[in-house]
Amino acid sequence: MKKAGFILALCLMFLAGMGQNEAAEKHFEKAERLAQSLKYQEALAEYNEAIFLNAEELKYYLRRAFVYSALESYEEAVKDYTKVLEADPSSPYIFVSRGSAYNKLKKYNLAIADFNSALAIDPKNQEAYNNRGWSKEYLGDHDGACADWKKSKKLGNAEAKIIMKNTHCK
């Protein structure tokens, strides 16, 4: 009899967990709609609730990081990007996003490290070249910045051409 009670308790715990995951997903979906409507503070509250209910779901952290960036809460964005990258360091996009947040925090060497990581995964990542160029420029390495923007331009990035003209790259 004790064994049956134990199994029933495990089943109830499992079902409760499923309910939590479903509730978390509903909060996530609501947060997505709010974020698309540029209602970032409201979206943030919904992402927080989704994470409270299911802290294992990395997409919740990733999307919350985007909202933190939109709200200019770059330290918080970096924390969420880092959590995602610790679990899965294979996305150049997330390295570029975290590097961009580091740029906003004026942590240019950390930003460059992230852009380098993105380029190690995807050597044709135009955004990583453009942003690494800005990091180098802010650190006083104009020639290095120009080299990155030239590479981005060569890869087809139209923005790099404008940047080069406005920063007087040769």
What is the end-to-end Cα distance of the chain in Å, rounded? 82
Report whether pLDDT(12) > 80: no
What is the model's pTM? 0.86
CATH 1.10.3720.10 fits 89-170, yes or no: no
Report whether pLDDT(55) > 90: yes
Report whether pLDDT(154) > 60: yes
Q: What is the per-residue pLDDT for 11?
A: 46
Q: What is the DSSP letter of 101?
A: H
Q: In sequence order, what DSSP letters do the residues of 15-83 get, joined into one string? A: HHHHHHHHHHHHHHHHHHHHHHTT-HHHHHHHHHHHHHH-TT-HHHHHHHHHHHHHTT-HHHHHHHHHH
Q: Which residue has the tokens 């590479």?
A: 151
Predicted confidence band of residue 20 (pLDDT cuts 50, 70, 90):
confident
pLDDT mean across residues, the chain: 91
Average pLDDT over residues 99-125: 98
Q: Tens digit of pLDDT for each residue in 71-105?
A: 999 999 999 999 999 999 999 999 999 999 999 99
Tokens of 133: 């160029």
Instruction: Tell me which of 41-45, 63-67, 114-118, 157-161 is least confident.
Output: 157-161
Q: What percent of the chain has pLDDT over 70?
A: 89
Q: What is the per-residue pLDDT for 15?
A: 44
Residue 44's Cβ-count burial label (10 Å; 0-12, 13-18, 19+) is buried
Report whether pLDDT(1) > 60: no
**Spans of all domains in the chain:** 1-67, 89-170
